[in-house]
Amino acid sequence: MDHGTVIEATKAVVTMDVALPGIIWGWMITLNMWAKSIGTGVILVGAFLLYRHKKEAMPNLRWMMPLISFIALNVFLLFTLLDLHQPLRMVNIFLHPHWTSAITVGAWMASIFTGLVTLMLAISALERFPDFGRHSRVAKTLREKSYLYEKLFPFVVFLALPVTMYTAVIMAEASARELWTAPAELVQMLFAAFMVGSASLLLIADKWSAEARRDLAMILAISVALSFTMYMGEYFFSFKAAEVEATLAYIHSGGSYNTQFWAAMVLGYIIPFFIAKGSLKVENRTMMKFAAVTTLIGLYLAKSTWLEIPQMIPLS
Amino acid sequence: MKLGFLVDLNLCMGCKGCEVACKVENEVPLSSWRLRVKYIDIGTFPDTSRSFTPLRCNHCENSPCERICPVSALHYLDNGIVNIDSSRCIGCAGCMMACPYGAIYMDPESNTADKCTFCAHRVESGMMPACVVACPVEANIFGDVEDETSHISRYIMEHQGAVQVRKPEKHTNPKHFYVGGGNQTLNPLAHERIEGHGLFNNITHLDAIGDPHHSILDRFIAPIFGGHNEHLGDESFLDMPNNIDEDHKSHKEGGDH
């Protein structure tokens, strides 16, 4: 009996079964994570730039940073809500919180974070447009208390870290999906925030000093390089757990997500890395904007791939 | 008291009586299952065998679904049952992502998560779960695993070395045991699930989670103004035979003219 026959003799095949669920968390959760990375990333990268450079070197950062964050966070919250099958019951998270759930903790933190960013946006926007709401009492009060912006900012930066990373804990709590492990996903979420945070700010950095733009290019290059390294580590060397190996088969050669995965790697990581690295020596603003756009697209594709492949294998 | 379940796969003959009993008892909607019996064929002709594996919630002592539920819709009862309060569920599907056994579904009628509760409502009244009552060969054994004199405890003791749980490596500490199972039947990665028309039915996957006709807008409007598919309630199914008779009758009458 040759080896092939032995394998055939032990072959087990499902001959009758019910329809199993397909993708449970789909594009809305991908969009949710992607938008949250932008919302927290611009704050983290903005804080780094404000630490390194004078405000005058980045004239529009004070109000564009909370504006981009506010828009992205609202996209994130909107799609979080839309993905619920009972969205009106979202209030139960606040009325009946279950604190062992990262979903609960994340929802509370993200809500507080969005509230603080909204306040910062209101203050900075009223400074930016001094004629707006001149007779409004709310606007007047906010203008008088504009010092709050500086007071709130450290808390917002501190909160941006857990807000960007809590989805990794949700993924880790999803015990059924072995691909998602807390240590790797926490770090990947952080890199993702720095990637799209720097990419988003690159799109509004035309009037910034060359040094500030150079820092943005450096953050982009480092974050995509490290994140890409982690993806490659998982791609090539995650062969210890049978379930992880079965999951990764979807992105390996011949897998149904192979093209999407490599498109994500090329657009989101390889192209931006070489452009950003080149821009550290000789700046090319057009190419940097191109890299920023490909980073945003690539990260969405990467997150989509990583979210969906563990949902492809049957659990029972 | 810690309630547990044991299925002796040596006895199960795949009649699916438990499946049907569960469906009827819990009014489980079409396309959803709290309990299913999977057929797995092992080997190649002529050395083949067919195994039947009933699959339901494992009521884990360390349940990932309970841990991830943001609103405690999934909760433990004092008797160890992992119960679900559908009226609190927000439909985030976190439990579906967390359960390593794929035992939770999104009810397409209520759009909330649901699962086997070991028929907690029957147990509360001193009755056995519907699937236990329906099994013609007593392959389903239910009882208190902390009581050494219970049928399930004695069965486990008598079959020491042959009692298994699914995915023990997940550290969920399931309270659902199997006797007579093997890796090929209990490990979903150890058998192939080829989609398409097979021996008995079309092996496939669901296109939607929850109600496929429940649009995003419906999710906001339906809880306030009522469901969009009220005409598909249970009553309409109960009325169906009469309607069919009447339709048939009127059609026949029409034909006579």
Strands A12-16 and B36-44, sheet pairing: antiparallel
Closest CA to A300 of A157, A196, A162, A146: A196
Comparing alpha-carbon positions, the chain B residue that sits nearest to A170 is B68
Which chain A residues are closer than 8 Å to B69 by Cβ?
A: 98, 101
Among B residues 139-158, those touching chain A with beta carbons less than 8 Å apart = none
CA B200 to chain centre: 20
With CB atoms and an 8 Å threshold, state whether A96 touches B72.
yes
- The residue ranges of every structural domain in chain A are 23-311
Stretch A173-200: mean pLDDT: 96
Q: What is the pLDDT of residues B67-82, one digit of tens each?
A: 999 999 999 999 999 9
List the single range of A260-269, A286-295, B29-38, B245-254 with lowest mean pLDDT: B245-254
Percent of chain B exceeding pLDDT 90 equals: 73
Comparing alpha-carbon positions, the chain B residue that sits nearest to A88 is B220
A314 confidence band (pLDDT: 50, 70, 90): very high
Q: Indicate the angle between helix axes A27-52 and A182-202, nearest 10 degrees.
A: 70
Res. B233: pLDDT tops 80: no
Which chain A residues are closer than 8 Å to B210 by Cβ?
A: 85
Give the nearest partner residue to B207 out of A22, A104, A177, using CB atoms: A22
Q: DSSP character for B148?
A: T
User: Cβ–Cβ contacts within 10 Å for residue A111, how many?
Assistant: 15
Residue A253, chain B, CB below 8 Å: the answer is no
Phi, psi of B89 (to 5 degrees): -60, 135
How high is the pLDDT of residue B181?
85
> Taking CB atoms and an 8 Å cut-off, how many pairs form between chains A and B?
198
Percent of chain A exceeding pLDDT 90 equals: 93
How high is the pLDDT of residue B227?
59
Residue B26, chain A, CB below 8 Å: the answer is no
How high is the pLDDT of residue A135?
87
pTM, two decimals, is 0.91
How high is the pLDDT of residue B218?
81
Bond from prior residue into A272 cis (ω within 30 degrees of 0):
no
With CB atoms and an 8 Å threshold, state whether B36 touches A17.
yes
With CB atoms and an 8 Å threshold, state whether A89 touches B90.
yes
How high is the pLDDT of residue B47?
85
For chain B, list the domains and their CATH numbers.
Answer: 3-203 (3.30.70.20), 217-256 (no CATH)
How high is the pLDDT of residue B248?
47
Q: What is the pLDDT of residues B113-144, one digit of tens each?
A: 999 999 999 999 999 999 999 999 999 999 99
Q: Mean of the per-residue pLDDT values for chain A?
A: 94
Q: Counting Cβ atoms within 10 Å, is residue B49 exposed (0-12), middle (13-18) or buried (19+)?
A: exposed
Q: What is the pLDDT of residues A101-139, one digit of tens each?
A: 999 999 999 999 999 999 999 999 999 999 898 889 999
With CB atoms and an 8 Å threshold, state whether B219 touches A102.
no
CA A130 to chain centre: 33
Q: What is the pLDDT of residues A57-110, one digit of tens each?
A: 999 999 999 999 999 999 999 999 999 999 999 999 999 999 999 999 999 999
Q: Which parts of chain A fold into alpha helices (H)?
A: 3-9, 27-52, 61-83, 92-95, 102-128, 137-144, 148-173, 182-202, 210-237, 242-248, 258-265, 271-281, 285-308
DSSP string, A124-150: HHHHHSTTTTTT-HHHHHHHHTTTHHH
How high is the pLDDT of residue A8?
56
Res. B23: pLDDT tops 60: yes
With CB atoms and an 8 Å threshold, state whether B206 touches A174.
no
Which chain B residues are closer than 8 Å to A6 by Cβ?
A: none
Res. B241: pLDDT tops 50: no
Residue B36, chain A, CB below 8 Å: the answer is yes
Give the nearest partner residue to B97 out of A12, A89, A174, using CB atoms: A174
Stretch A167-185: mean pLDDT: 95
Stretch A287-315: mean pLDDT: 97
Give the nearest partner residue to B98 out of A9, A22, A173, using CB atoms: A173
How high is the pLDDT of residue A139?
93
How high is the pLDDT of residue B244?
43
Residue A69, chain B, CB below 8 Å: the answer is no
- Which has the higher per-residue pLDDT, B257 or A60? A60
How high is the pLDDT of residue B214?
76
Residue B165, chain A, CB below 8 Å: the answer is no
Residue A254, chain B, CB below 8 Å: the answer is no
The two tokens of residue A139 are 């606007």
How high is the pLDDT of residue A9?
52
Measured over the CA atoms of residue B24, residue B30, residue B34 and residue B35, the dihedral's sign is positive
With CB atoms and an 8 Å threshold, state whether B184 touches A86.
no
Which chain A residues are closer than 8 Å to B205 by Cβ?
A: 19-22
Stretch A153-158: mean pLDDT: 97
Stretch B29-58: mean pLDDT: 93
Q: What is the pLDDT of residues B79-106, one digit of tens each?
A: 999 999 999 999 999 999 999 999 999 9
Rg (CA), chain A: 22
How high is the pLDDT of residue B253?
45
With CB atoms and an 8 Å threshold, state whether B200 touches A16.
yes
Strand partners, B42: A12, B49
Stretch A34-63: mean pLDDT: 96
With CB atoms and an 8 Å threshold, state whether A21 touches B205.
yes
To the nearest whole Å, the CA of A246 is away from the closest chain B CA by 8
CA distance A316 to A313: 9
With CB atoms and an 8 Å threshold, state whether A13 touches B93.
no
Q: Mean of the per-residue pLDDT values for chain B?
A: 88
Strand partners, A13: B41, B192
Class of domain A23-311: mainly alpha
Give the nearest partner residue to B203 out of A14, A102, A243, using CB atoms: A14
Res. A231: pLDDT tops 80: yes
Interface predicted TM-score (ipTM)? 0.92
